[in-house]
Amino acid sequence: MTSLSSIPSKDPYPGGPGSDAIDAFPSVIRDLLKEHRPSRMPFFRHLANLQFSVASDPTLLGRIHLIYQSAMHATRAAVYYLPHLNSPALRKRKLQILIDDDGLPEGDTHHYQLTRAFLHIGAKSLLPDEEFGDPEELCGHLDAETVRFVRLARELYGRSLGPWCAVEVLSVDWMRALAEAISRSSSMSPISASVSHSGSKSDMRMSRSQSPKLFLRSGRNCFPKHCTTLG
């Protein structure tokens, strides 16, 4: 795997990368995705192979939602502390990043979209959306591994833009892998859940076999333009 530290810099700046390192950054992120692709983890294979009665358990799905939502909440909150984006043009870019997460039409956010996606497939909500707040308070609801991630997010995001780009790219693969695993685990026994969609009073019947499209749609537009081409 290529690392930025191994790339000679022809145009170094005090405290910043040279032009060679900047040009190489997209390929470094691509290599990182290849080496650490979440979909390669055995969790998704095991989930796909579960019996339908187990895979569709509302508490299990709720637990998966709690863990993933907590990790994503930590990164979304940490985005507000991204460094280096200080010039007028870069402040505009940072504002667009924030809007992409928390300023969607009709008051929507990626946090709310993710919750709806899990509720649509039958998950039991284990923590109300507005309880995802201070990281330390959130850690009281989480396992040790997720706690470590939540605490690291603020620290690492405040140091450089690299962790943010890495998480954005890796999370696309994670979401797709989860959607495919859920679809496979229930492909022989599709179920429907009656849910309220986007604040509408009308109910929406959705088969679990539609979950991949739902999950992927819930994450639309959340990736910065210079990161979406990396995966």
Q: What global pTM score does this model have? A: 0.72
DSSP notation for the chain: ---GGGS--SS-BTTB--HHHHHHHHHHHHHHHHHH-GGGSHHHHHHHTS-HHHHT-HHHHHHHHHHHHHHHHHHHHHGGG--S--SHHHHHHHHHHHHHHH--GGG--HHHHHHHHHHHTTPPPSS-GGG--SHHHHHTTS-HHHHHHHHHHHHHHTT-SHHHHHHHHHHHHHHHHHHHHHHHHTTTS--EEEEE-TT-SSEEEEEGGGHHHHHHHHTTT-S-HHHHT--
pLDDT, tens digit (0-9, with 9 covering 90-100), for 153-183: 999 999 988 889 888 888 889 888 988 888 8
pLDDT in the model for residue 195: 30
Task: Give mean pLDDT, residues 49-74.
Answer: 93
